[in-house]
Amino acid sequence: MAVPTRKTSHARKSSRRSTVWKLSAPALTTCPNCGELTAAHRACSNCGMYRGRQVIVKKDA
């Protein structure tokens, strides 16, 4: 079985693996009720609406 003759340096190993571990940013959509940016298929954190219904009732402090 073939064995590497030299040790792979940390920089070479890290640069090879650098693109594998990157996360992509979540897709954001605008809420049709209030216009706030929200994650897709989630209730709006600002107004609590989802698909035209009030899902989350906010308590006024």
Give the residue extent of every domain in the chain: 27-61
What residues have CB less than 8 Å from 58, skipping those under 6 apart?
47, 48
Separation between Cα atoms, residue 61 and residue 57, nearest integer Å: 13
* pTM for this prediction: 0.54
For the chain, the first-to-last Cα distance in angstroms comes to 69
What are the pLDDT digits (tens) for 19-35? 777 778 889 999 999 99
What residues have CB less than 8 Å from 36, skipping those under 6 apart?
30, 44, 45, 46, 47
What are the pLDDT digits (tens) for 47-57? 999 999 999 88
**Residue at token pair 């989630």:** 42
